Chain A
Amino acid sequence: MRNTLTIAGRELRSYFTSPVAYVLLAVFLALAGYFFYALLMAFNQTLTIYGMMRNPEMLQRFNLNEMVIRPLLANMAVLLIFIVPAITMRMFPEEKRSGTYEMLLTSPVRVGEIVLGKFLGGLVLVLLMILLSGFFGVLLAVYGNPEMPMMVAGYAGLGLIAVSFLAIGTLVSSFTDNVVIAYVGTLFALLVLYTIGWLGESLQGTWGAVVGYLSITEHFQEMSKGVIDTKNLVYFATLLVVSLFLTHRSVESVRWR
Protein backbone atom coordinates (compact mmCIF):
# COMPACT_ATOMS: atom_id res chain seq x y z
CA MET A 1 0.00 0.00 0.00
CA ARG A 2 2.78 2.40 0.93
CA ASN A 3 4.56 1.68 -2.35
CA THR A 4 1.35 2.29 -4.25
CA LEU A 5 0.96 5.71 -2.64
CA THR A 6 4.62 6.53 -3.27
CA ILE A 7 4.21 5.81 -6.96
CA ALA A 8 0.83 7.57 -7.14
CA GLY A 9 2.34 10.61 -5.43
CA ARG A 10 5.20 10.83 -7.91
CA GLU A 11 2.82 10.40 -10.81
CA LEU A 12 0.56 13.16 -9.56
CA ARG A 13 3.48 15.44 -8.84
CA SER A 14 4.75 15.02 -12.40
CA TYR A 15 1.34 16.10 -13.78
CA PHE A 16 1.42 19.25 -11.69
CA THR A 17 5.10 20.22 -11.95
CA SER A 18 4.77 20.25 -15.73
CA PRO A 19 2.05 22.30 -17.44
CA VAL A 20 0.22 19.07 -18.38
CA ALA A 21 -2.33 19.08 -15.57
CA TYR A 22 -3.11 22.79 -15.94
CA VAL A 23 -3.49 22.65 -19.71
CA LEU A 24 -5.76 19.60 -19.54
CA LEU A 25 -7.87 21.11 -16.75
CA ALA A 26 -8.14 24.43 -18.59
CA VAL A 27 -9.06 22.86 -21.93
CA PHE A 28 -11.64 20.59 -20.37
CA LEU A 29 -13.26 23.30 -18.28
CA ALA A 30 -13.22 25.92 -21.05
CA LEU A 31 -14.94 23.61 -23.53
CA ALA A 32 -17.36 22.26 -20.94
CA GLY A 33 -18.16 25.85 -19.93
CA TYR A 34 -18.84 26.73 -23.54
CA PHE A 35 -21.18 23.73 -23.92
CA PHE A 36 -22.94 24.72 -20.72
CA TYR A 37 -23.43 28.28 -21.88
CA ALA A 38 -24.69 27.27 -25.32
CA LEU A 39 -27.14 24.71 -23.90
CA LEU A 40 -28.42 27.13 -21.33
CA MET A 41 -28.97 29.85 -23.95
CA ALA A 42 -30.81 27.45 -26.22
CA PHE A 43 -32.97 26.35 -23.29
CA ASN A 44 -33.79 29.96 -22.44
CA GLN A 45 -34.74 30.74 -25.99
CA THR A 46 -37.04 27.74 -26.19
CA LEU A 47 -38.71 28.75 -22.97
CA THR A 48 -39.22 32.31 -24.22
CA ILE A 49 -40.73 31.15 -27.49
CA TYR A 50 -43.14 28.70 -25.91
CA GLY A 51 -43.85 31.24 -23.16
CA MET A 52 -45.03 33.70 -25.79
CA MET A 53 -47.28 31.05 -27.26
CA ARG A 54 -48.95 30.81 -23.86
CA ASN A 55 -48.93 27.07 -23.99
CA PRO A 56 -48.42 25.96 -20.37
CA GLU A 57 -48.74 22.30 -21.28
CA MET A 58 -45.81 22.47 -23.66
CA LEU A 59 -43.86 24.58 -21.18
CA GLN A 60 -44.24 21.86 -18.60
CA ARG A 61 -42.42 19.41 -20.82
CA PHE A 62 -39.22 21.36 -20.91
CA ASN A 63 -36.98 21.09 -17.94
CA LEU A 64 -33.37 21.74 -17.03
CA ASN A 65 -32.48 18.11 -16.61
CA GLU A 66 -33.56 17.04 -20.07
CA MET A 67 -32.39 20.07 -21.97
CA VAL A 68 -29.26 21.18 -20.18
CA ILE A 69 -27.82 18.67 -17.75
CA ARG A 70 -28.12 15.47 -19.76
CA PRO A 71 -26.69 16.87 -22.97
CA LEU A 72 -23.97 18.65 -20.99
CA LEU A 73 -22.95 15.40 -19.29
CA ALA A 74 -22.96 13.56 -22.63
CA ASN A 75 -20.77 16.25 -24.18
CA MET A 76 -18.36 16.15 -21.27
CA ALA A 77 -18.11 12.38 -21.69
CA VAL A 78 -17.11 12.95 -25.32
CA LEU A 79 -14.52 15.49 -24.17
CA LEU A 80 -13.09 12.89 -21.82
CA ILE A 81 -12.55 10.56 -24.78
CA PHE A 82 -9.96 13.05 -25.98
CA ILE A 83 -8.62 14.27 -22.64
CA VAL A 84 -8.12 11.01 -20.75
CA PRO A 85 -5.69 9.49 -23.29
CA ALA A 86 -3.56 12.61 -22.83
CA ILE A 87 -3.39 11.81 -19.13
CA THR A 88 -2.54 8.15 -19.53
CA MET A 89 -0.27 8.26 -22.57
CA ARG A 90 2.85 9.10 -20.57
CA MET A 91 2.32 6.60 -17.77
CA PHE A 92 4.45 3.74 -19.10
CA PRO A 93 6.09 5.01 -22.30
CA GLU A 94 7.92 7.80 -20.51
CA GLU A 95 9.32 5.41 -17.90
CA LYS A 96 10.47 3.03 -20.61
CA ARG A 97 12.12 5.80 -22.59
CA SER A 98 13.93 7.45 -19.70
CA GLY A 99 15.17 4.20 -18.16
CA THR A 100 13.29 4.71 -14.91
CA TYR A 101 11.23 1.64 -15.76
CA GLU A 102 14.32 -0.42 -14.99
CA MET A 103 14.59 1.24 -11.59
CA LEU A 104 10.91 0.59 -10.82
CA LEU A 105 11.03 -3.06 -11.85
CA THR A 106 14.28 -3.78 -10.01
CA SER A 107 13.01 -2.21 -6.79
CA PRO A 108 11.36 -4.41 -4.18
CA VAL A 109 7.96 -3.25 -5.41
CA ARG A 110 5.21 -5.52 -6.69
CA VAL A 111 3.91 -5.10 -10.23
CA GLY A 112 0.42 -4.63 -8.84
CA GLU A 113 1.64 -1.72 -6.75
CA ILE A 114 3.17 -0.06 -9.80
CA VAL A 115 -0.02 -0.44 -11.85
CA LEU A 116 -2.29 0.70 -9.05
CA GLY A 117 -0.02 3.62 -8.19
CA LYS A 118 0.00 4.88 -11.77
CA PHE A 119 -3.74 4.48 -12.03
CA LEU A 120 -4.42 6.29 -8.74
CA GLY A 121 -2.18 9.21 -9.75
CA GLY A 122 -4.22 9.71 -12.91
CA LEU A 123 -7.46 9.13 -11.02
CA VAL A 124 -6.87 12.10 -8.73
CA LEU A 125 -6.39 14.37 -11.75
CA VAL A 126 -9.48 13.06 -13.54
CA LEU A 127 -11.70 13.28 -10.49
CA LEU A 128 -10.46 16.81 -9.83
CA MET A 129 -11.49 17.66 -13.37
CA ILE A 130 -14.99 16.33 -12.84
CA LEU A 131 -15.29 17.88 -9.42
CA LEU A 132 -14.47 21.29 -10.88
CA SER A 133 -17.02 20.81 -13.64
CA GLY A 134 -19.55 20.27 -10.83
CA PHE A 135 -19.53 24.07 -10.67
CA PHE A 136 -22.06 24.11 -13.54
CA GLY A 137 -24.35 21.87 -11.51
CA VAL A 138 -24.00 24.15 -8.51
CA LEU A 139 -24.92 27.17 -10.66
CA LEU A 140 -28.05 25.40 -11.85
CA ALA A 141 -28.97 24.35 -8.34
CA VAL A 142 -28.58 27.93 -7.05
CA TYR A 143 -30.37 29.78 -9.87
CA GLY A 144 -32.70 27.09 -11.20
CA ASN A 145 -34.62 24.10 -9.97
CA PRO A 146 -33.09 20.94 -11.42
CA GLU A 147 -34.05 17.57 -10.02
CA MET A 148 -31.14 17.02 -7.70
CA PRO A 149 -31.08 13.19 -7.51
CA MET A 150 -31.04 13.02 -11.29
CA MET A 151 -28.21 15.49 -11.54
CA VAL A 152 -26.15 13.75 -8.88
CA ALA A 153 -26.68 10.35 -10.50
CA GLY A 154 -25.64 11.87 -13.83
CA TYR A 155 -22.43 13.27 -12.40
CA ALA A 156 -21.73 9.94 -10.71
CA GLY A 157 -22.16 8.31 -14.14
CA LEU A 158 -19.68 10.76 -15.63
CA GLY A 159 -17.24 9.93 -12.83
CA LEU A 160 -17.59 6.20 -13.56
CA ILE A 161 -17.04 6.81 -17.27
CA ALA A 162 -13.89 8.78 -16.47
CA VAL A 163 -12.59 6.01 -14.20
CA SER A 164 -13.22 3.38 -16.87
CA PHE A 165 -11.56 5.49 -19.56
CA LEU A 166 -8.57 5.97 -17.30
CA ALA A 167 -8.24 2.23 -16.65
CA ILE A 168 -8.36 1.51 -20.38
CA GLY A 169 -5.80 4.25 -21.02
CA THR A 170 -3.51 2.76 -18.38
CA LEU A 171 -3.78 -0.62 -20.10
CA VAL A 172 -3.02 0.70 -23.58
CA SER A 173 -0.08 2.78 -22.36
CA SER A 174 1.46 -0.32 -20.79
CA PHE A 175 1.71 -1.93 -24.24
CA THR A 176 4.07 0.57 -25.81
CA ASP A 177 7.07 2.82 -25.30
CA ASN A 178 5.69 5.45 -27.65
CA VAL A 179 3.40 8.22 -26.39
CA VAL A 180 1.76 8.86 -29.75
CA ILE A 181 0.81 5.20 -30.09
CA ALA A 182 -0.44 5.21 -26.51
CA TYR A 183 -2.62 8.26 -27.21
CA VAL A 184 -4.05 7.07 -30.51
CA GLY A 185 -4.51 3.50 -29.28
CA THR A 186 -6.47 4.69 -26.28
CA LEU A 187 -8.48 7.12 -28.40
CA PHE A 188 -9.39 4.24 -30.69
CA ALA A 189 -10.42 1.95 -27.83
CA LEU A 190 -12.52 4.65 -26.17
CA LEU A 191 -14.26 5.68 -29.40
CA VAL A 192 -15.15 2.06 -30.15
CA LEU A 193 -16.47 1.60 -26.63
CA TYR A 194 -18.48 4.79 -26.90
CA THR A 195 -20.01 4.14 -30.29
CA ILE A 196 -20.44 0.37 -30.26
CA GLY A 197 -24.05 0.92 -29.22
CA TRP A 198 -24.83 2.26 -32.70
CA LEU A 199 -24.37 -1.28 -33.94
CA GLY A 200 -26.75 -2.59 -31.31
CA GLU A 201 -29.59 -0.62 -32.83
CA SER A 202 -29.33 -2.44 -36.14
CA LEU A 203 -28.48 -5.88 -34.75
CA GLN A 204 -31.33 -8.06 -33.58
CA GLY A 205 -31.63 -10.74 -30.93
CA THR A 206 -28.76 -11.93 -28.79
CA TRP A 207 -26.04 -10.01 -30.62
CA GLY A 208 -28.03 -6.83 -30.28
CA ALA A 209 -28.33 -7.44 -26.55
CA VAL A 210 -24.63 -8.23 -26.16
CA VAL A 211 -23.53 -5.15 -28.07
CA GLY A 212 -26.06 -3.09 -26.13
CA TYR A 213 -24.61 -4.34 -22.89
CA LEU A 214 -21.04 -3.58 -23.99
CA SER A 215 -21.89 -0.02 -24.93
CA ILE A 216 -20.69 2.38 -22.30
CA THR A 217 -23.17 5.00 -23.55
CA GLU A 218 -26.12 2.76 -22.74
CA HIS A 219 -25.09 2.48 -19.09
CA PHE A 220 -24.18 6.12 -18.85
CA GLN A 221 -27.51 7.24 -20.29
CA GLU A 222 -29.43 5.23 -17.76
CA MET A 223 -27.47 6.89 -14.99
CA SER A 224 -27.96 10.37 -16.40
CA LYS A 225 -31.70 9.65 -16.31
CA GLY A 226 -31.27 9.25 -12.58
CA VAL A 227 -31.32 5.46 -12.48
CA ILE A 228 -28.52 3.91 -10.46
CA ASP A 229 -28.89 0.22 -11.16
CA THR A 230 -26.58 -2.55 -9.93
CA LYS A 231 -26.38 -3.71 -13.53
CA ASN A 232 -24.66 -0.46 -14.49
CA LEU A 233 -22.37 -0.46 -11.49
CA VAL A 234 -21.33 -4.04 -12.23
CA TYR A 235 -20.56 -3.02 -15.81
CA PHE A 236 -18.25 -0.20 -14.77
CA ALA A 237 -16.61 -2.27 -12.02
CA THR A 238 -15.93 -5.07 -14.52
CA LEU A 239 -14.39 -2.67 -17.01
CA LEU A 240 -12.13 -1.29 -14.29
CA VAL A 241 -11.02 -4.60 -12.83
CA VAL A 242 -10.45 -6.29 -16.19
CA SER A 243 -8.41 -3.35 -17.52
CA LEU A 244 -6.19 -3.15 -14.47
CA PHE A 245 -5.76 -6.93 -14.35
CA LEU A 246 -4.66 -6.95 -17.98
CA THR A 247 -2.28 -4.05 -17.29
CA HIS A 248 -0.75 -6.13 -14.53
CA ARG A 249 -0.27 -9.02 -16.93
CA SER A 250 1.14 -6.77 -19.61
CA VAL A 251 3.73 -5.23 -17.26
CA GLU A 252 4.64 -8.61 -15.88
CA SER A 253 5.04 -10.08 -19.36
CA VAL A 254 8.46 -8.37 -19.55
CA ARG A 255 9.48 -11.02 -17.07
CA TRP A 256 8.47 -14.01 -19.15
CA ARG A 257 9.61 -12.87 -22.57
Chain B
Amino acid sequence: MIQVANLSKRYGDLAAVQDVSFSARPGEILGFLGPNGAGKTTTIRVITGFLPATAGTVTVCGYDVFEQSAEVRRRIGYLPETPPLYNDMTVVPYLRFAAKLRGLSRGDIDAAIDRVVHACALGGVTGRLLGHLSKGFRQRVGLAQALIHDPEVLILDEPTNGLDPGQIREMLAFIRSLGTKRTVVLSTHILSQVLTACQKVVIINDGRVVVEELLERLTQDRSLEDVYTQAISRGAEAAA
Protein backbone atom coordinates (compact mmCIF):
# COMPACT_ATOMS: atom_id res chain seq x y z
CA MET B 1 0.00 0.00 0.00
CA ILE B 2 2.80 2.36 0.98
CA GLN B 3 6.27 1.72 -0.40
CA VAL B 4 9.12 3.99 0.57
CA ALA B 5 12.35 3.12 -1.25
CA ASN B 6 15.77 4.66 -0.63
CA LEU B 7 14.26 7.98 0.28
CA SER B 8 16.63 10.84 1.02
CA LYS B 9 15.80 14.43 1.79
CA ARG B 10 18.31 17.21 2.27
CA TYR B 11 17.67 20.76 3.40
CA GLY B 12 20.69 22.49 1.93
CA ASP B 13 23.63 20.87 3.71
CA LEU B 14 21.53 19.15 6.33
CA ALA B 15 20.55 15.57 5.53
CA ALA B 16 17.22 15.15 7.32
CA VAL B 17 16.48 11.70 5.97
CA GLN B 18 18.97 9.29 4.38
CA ASP B 19 18.22 6.20 2.37
CA VAL B 20 14.99 5.37 4.17
CA SER B 21 13.04 2.30 3.03
CA PHE B 22 9.98 0.64 4.54
CA SER B 23 6.56 -0.52 3.51
CA ALA B 24 3.08 -0.93 4.92
CA ARG B 25 0.50 -3.43 3.73
CA PRO B 26 -3.24 -2.79 3.34
CA GLY B 27 -5.06 -2.82 6.68
CA GLU B 28 -1.83 -2.49 8.60
CA ILE B 29 -1.23 0.09 11.31
CA LEU B 30 2.38 1.07 11.16
CA GLY B 31 3.95 2.69 14.19
CA PHE B 32 6.55 5.18 13.04
CA LEU B 33 8.88 5.68 15.98
CA GLY B 34 11.90 7.77 16.69
CA PRO B 35 13.28 10.48 18.93
CA ASN B 36 12.37 14.09 18.26
CA GLY B 37 14.26 15.39 15.25
CA ALA B 38 14.89 11.91 13.82
CA GLY B 39 13.20 12.74 10.52
CA LYS B 40 9.67 11.46 11.13
CA THR B 41 7.87 14.60 10.03
CA THR B 42 10.13 15.06 7.02
CA THR B 43 9.46 11.50 5.86
CA ILE B 44 5.74 12.01 6.33
CA ARG B 45 5.78 15.27 4.42
CA VAL B 46 7.43 13.52 1.50
CA ILE B 47 4.90 10.68 1.55
CA THR B 48 2.00 13.14 1.51
CA GLY B 49 3.53 15.08 -1.38
CA PHE B 50 4.05 18.28 0.60
CA LEU B 51 7.82 18.15 0.14
CA PRO B 52 9.78 16.65 -2.74
CA ALA B 53 12.43 14.02 -2.08
CA THR B 54 16.05 14.65 -2.90
CA ALA B 55 16.37 11.01 -3.97
CA GLY B 56 14.35 7.79 -3.83
CA THR B 57 10.77 6.91 -4.56
CA VAL B 58 7.52 6.71 -2.66
CA THR B 59 4.53 4.75 -3.94
CA VAL B 60 1.09 4.97 -2.40
CA CYS B 61 -1.70 2.66 -3.65
CA GLY B 62 0.44 1.92 -6.66
CA TYR B 63 0.88 5.57 -7.62
CA ASP B 64 4.17 7.40 -7.54
CA VAL B 65 4.04 10.40 -5.22
CA PHE B 66 6.13 12.54 -7.54
CA GLU B 67 4.79 11.45 -10.91
CA GLN B 68 1.12 10.97 -10.05
CA SER B 69 0.86 13.35 -7.15
CA ALA B 70 -2.84 14.18 -7.67
CA GLU B 71 -3.86 10.49 -7.56
CA VAL B 72 -1.91 10.00 -4.35
CA ARG B 73 -3.28 13.12 -2.72
CA ARG B 74 -6.82 11.97 -3.48
CA ARG B 75 -6.22 8.74 -1.55
CA ILE B 76 -4.40 10.04 1.50
CA GLY B 77 -5.91 11.49 4.64
CA TYR B 78 -3.34 13.50 6.52
CA LEU B 79 -3.23 14.96 9.99
CA PRO B 80 -0.09 17.13 10.24
CA GLU B 81 1.78 17.71 13.48
CA THR B 82 -0.25 20.86 14.15
CA PRO B 83 -3.90 20.33 13.18
CA PRO B 84 -4.50 22.48 10.09
CA LEU B 85 -7.37 24.58 11.42
CA TYR B 86 -8.69 27.97 10.37
CA ASN B 87 -9.34 29.58 13.74
CA ASP B 88 -12.00 31.95 12.43
CA MET B 89 -14.23 29.10 11.19
CA THR B 90 -16.70 26.93 13.06
CA VAL B 91 -16.49 23.15 12.89
CA VAL B 92 -19.11 22.34 10.26
CA PRO B 93 -18.14 24.98 7.65
CA TYR B 94 -14.52 23.94 8.14
CA LEU B 95 -15.33 20.29 7.46
CA ARG B 96 -17.42 21.36 4.48
CA PHE B 97 -14.41 23.25 3.15
CA ALA B 98 -12.17 20.21 3.68
CA ALA B 99 -14.72 17.99 1.93
CA LYS B 100 -14.88 20.29 -1.09
CA LEU B 101 -11.09 20.46 -1.31
CA ARG B 102 -11.03 16.68 -1.30
CA GLY B 103 -13.37 16.69 -4.26
CA LEU B 104 -16.49 15.22 -2.63
CA SER B 105 -19.60 15.82 -4.69
CA ARG B 106 -22.22 18.22 -3.35
CA GLY B 107 -24.66 15.43 -2.51
CA ASP B 108 -22.15 13.45 -0.46
CA ILE B 109 -20.81 16.28 1.66
CA ASP B 110 -23.50 16.40 4.34
CA ALA B 111 -23.39 12.65 4.88
CA ALA B 112 -19.59 12.74 5.10
CA ILE B 113 -19.70 15.54 7.67
CA ASP B 114 -22.26 13.61 9.75
CA ARG B 115 -20.08 10.53 9.57
CA VAL B 116 -16.86 12.20 10.79
CA VAL B 117 -18.62 14.35 13.39
CA HIS B 118 -20.05 11.15 14.83
CA ALA B 119 -16.83 9.15 14.49
CA CYS B 120 -14.66 11.81 16.12
CA ALA B 121 -17.29 12.66 18.77
CA LEU B 122 -17.61 16.29 17.74
CA GLY B 123 -21.36 16.44 18.25
CA GLY B 124 -21.16 18.91 21.11
CA VAL B 125 -18.93 21.47 19.43
CA THR B 126 -20.22 21.71 15.86
CA GLY B 127 -21.10 25.38 16.25
CA ARG B 128 -17.94 26.46 18.06
CA LEU B 129 -15.12 28.50 16.56
CA LEU B 130 -12.05 26.35 15.95
CA GLY B 131 -9.91 28.98 17.65
CA HIS B 132 -11.88 28.48 20.88
CA LEU B 133 -11.58 24.69 21.01
CA SER B 134 -9.40 22.86 23.51
CA LYS B 135 -6.32 21.02 22.36
CA GLY B 136 -8.11 17.66 22.44
CA PHE B 137 -10.96 18.87 20.28
CA ARG B 138 -8.59 20.59 17.86
CA GLN B 139 -6.77 17.31 17.42
CA ARG B 140 -10.08 15.53 16.79
CA VAL B 141 -11.27 18.11 14.27
CA GLY B 142 -7.93 17.65 12.53
CA LEU B 143 -8.56 13.92 12.43
CA ALA B 144 -12.11 14.47 11.17
CA GLN B 145 -10.68 16.56 8.33
CA ALA B 146 -8.29 13.74 7.43
CA LEU B 147 -11.15 11.21 7.36
CA ILE B 148 -13.71 13.27 5.49
CA HIS B 149 -13.12 11.59 2.13
CA ASP B 150 -12.87 8.10 3.62
CA PRO B 151 -9.25 7.67 2.45
CA GLU B 152 -7.52 4.35 1.87
CA VAL B 153 -4.37 5.61 3.53
CA LEU B 154 -4.26 7.63 6.71
CA ILE B 155 -1.15 9.43 7.87
CA LEU B 156 -1.12 10.79 11.38
CA ASP B 157 1.81 12.84 12.63
CA GLU B 158 1.84 12.61 16.43
CA PRO B 159 -1.95 12.60 16.74
CA THR B 160 -1.87 12.18 20.53
CA ASN B 161 0.35 15.19 21.08
CA GLY B 162 -1.04 17.34 23.88
CA LEU B 163 -3.92 15.07 24.77
CA ASP B 164 -4.67 13.96 28.31
CA PRO B 165 -4.40 10.24 29.19
CA GLY B 166 -8.12 9.61 28.74
CA GLN B 167 -8.12 11.29 25.35
CA ILE B 168 -5.03 9.37 24.30
CA ARG B 169 -6.76 6.10 25.13
CA GLU B 170 -9.84 7.12 23.11
CA MET B 171 -7.75 8.31 20.19
CA LEU B 172 -5.76 5.06 20.04
CA ALA B 173 -8.87 2.92 20.27
CA PHE B 174 -10.33 4.94 17.46
CA ILE B 175 -7.23 4.60 15.32
CA ARG B 176 -7.26 0.87 15.90
CA SER B 177 -10.84 0.71 14.69
CA LEU B 178 -9.81 2.60 11.54
CA GLY B 179 -7.02 0.20 10.77
CA THR B 180 -9.22 -2.69 9.77
CA LYS B 181 -10.06 -1.08 6.44
CA ARG B 182 -7.21 1.31 5.94
CA THR B 183 -3.47 1.54 6.01
CA VAL B 184 -2.46 3.84 8.84
CA VAL B 185 0.91 5.39 9.54
CA LEU B 186 1.03 6.54 13.14
CA SER B 187 4.01 8.66 14.01
CA THR B 188 4.84 9.02 17.66
CA HIS B 189 7.67 8.98 20.16
CA ILE B 190 5.64 7.27 22.86
CA LEU B 191 6.26 3.53 22.88
CA SER B 192 3.18 2.41 24.78
CA GLN B 193 1.01 3.86 22.02
CA VAL B 194 2.64 1.57 19.50
CA LEU B 195 1.97 -1.43 21.72
CA THR B 196 -1.69 -0.51 21.96
CA ALA B 197 -2.41 0.28 18.36
CA CYS B 198 0.12 -1.04 15.87
CA GLN B 199 0.96 -4.27 14.08
CA LYS B 200 4.22 -3.13 12.59
CA VAL B 201 7.04 -0.93 13.85
CA VAL B 202 9.51 1.22 11.98
CA ILE B 203 12.11 2.97 14.12
CA ILE B 204 14.01 5.84 12.62
CA ASN B 205 17.02 7.50 14.17
CA ASP B 206 19.18 10.29 12.82
CA GLY B 207 17.48 10.12 9.46
CA ARG B 208 17.96 6.36 8.99
CA VAL B 209 15.68 3.38 9.50
CA VAL B 210 17.16 1.18 12.24
CA VAL B 211 14.30 -1.26 12.75
CA GLU B 212 11.49 -2.46 10.51
CA GLU B 213 9.64 -5.45 11.92
CA LEU B 214 6.24 -6.81 12.92
CA LEU B 215 5.50 -5.91 16.51
CA GLU B 216 4.80 -9.47 17.67
CA ARG B 217 8.11 -10.75 16.34
CA LEU B 218 9.99 -7.80 17.76
CA THR B 219 8.62 -8.24 21.26
CA GLN B 220 8.84 -12.05 21.42
CA ASP B 221 11.69 -12.20 23.89
CA ARG B 222 12.16 -8.60 25.06
CA SER B 223 10.20 -5.45 25.65
CA LEU B 224 9.69 -2.81 23.03
CA GLU B 225 11.50 -0.40 25.28
CA ASP B 226 14.65 -2.51 25.13
CA VAL B 227 14.39 -2.81 21.38
CA TYR B 228 13.95 0.93 21.06
CA THR B 229 16.79 1.90 23.39
CA GLN B 230 19.12 -0.53 21.68
CA ALA B 231 18.15 0.64 18.22
CA ILE B 232 18.65 4.27 19.10
CA SER B 233 22.06 3.73 20.73
CA ARG B 234 23.21 1.52 17.87
CA GLY B 235 22.27 4.30 15.51
CA ALA B 236 24.31 6.73 17.57
CA GLU B 237 27.36 4.42 17.49
CA ALA B 238 27.10 4.03 13.76
CA ALA B 239 26.95 7.78 13.36
CA ALA B 240 30.01 8.22 15.60
Interface residues of A (CB under 8 A from B): 2-3, 6-7, 10, 13-14, 17-18, 98-110, 254-257
Q: Given A6-B97, A106-B49, decide whether A99 and B82 contact each other with a Cβ distance below 8 A.
A: yes
Whole-angstrom CA separation of A255 from B97 in the bound complex: 24
Whole-angstrom CA separation of A44 from B162 in the bound complex: 67
B89: chain A residues within 8 A (beta carbon): 10, 13-14, 17
Q: B70-81 CB contact bits vs A (8 Å, 1 = yes)?
A: 100110101011
Q: Which of B111-151 contact A (CB under 8 A)?
A: 145
- In the complex, the answer to whether A3 meets B88 with C-beta atoms within 8 Å is no
Q: How many chain B residues touch A (Cβ–Cβ < 8 Å)?
A: 29
Q: Of B51, B70, B78, B101, which is within 8 A of A6 by CB? A: B101
A256: chain B residues within 8 A (beta carbon): 52
Whole-angstrom CA separation of A107 from B80 in the bound complex: 12
**Chain B contact residues: over half helix, strand or loop, or mixed?**
loop
Whole-angstrom CA separation of A18 from B87 in the bound complex: 10
Whole-angstrom CA separation of A2 from B74 in the bound complex: 16
- In the complex, the answer to whether B85 meets A98 with C-beta atoms within 8 Å is yes
- In the complex, the answer to whether B100 meets A3 with C-beta atoms within 8 Å is yes
> Which among A7, A14, A108 has the greatest number of chain B C-beta atoms within 10 A?
A108
B49: chain A residues within 8 A (beta carbon): 105-106
> Which among A3, A7, A18, A99 has the greatest number of chain B C-beta atoms within 10 A?
A99
Q: Of A18, A101, A103, A105, which is within 8 A of B98 by CB? A: A103
Whole-angstrom CA separation of A185 from B228 in the bound complex: 48
- In the complex, the answer to whether B80 meets A102 with C-beta atoms within 8 Å is yes
Nearest 6 A/B pairs, CB to CB: A103-B84, A99-B82, A107-B101, A6-B100, A100-B84, A108-B73
B174: chain A residues within 8 A (beta carbon): none
- In the complex, the answer to whether B84 meets A14 with C-beta atoms within 8 Å is no
Q: Of A3, A13, A99, A106, which is within 8 A of B73 by CB? A: A106
Nearest B residue to A15 by beta-carbon distance? Answer: B88
- In the complex, the answer to whether B83 meets A105 with C-beta atoms within 8 Å is no
B70: chain A residues within 8 A (beta carbon): 108, 110
8 pairs across A/B with beta carbons < 8 Å? A3-B100, A10-B89, A14-B89, A102-B78, A103-B78, A107-B101, A108-B101, A257-B52
Q: Given A6-B97, A107-B73, A108-B73, decide whether A98 and B87 contact each other with a Cβ distance below 8 A.
A: yes
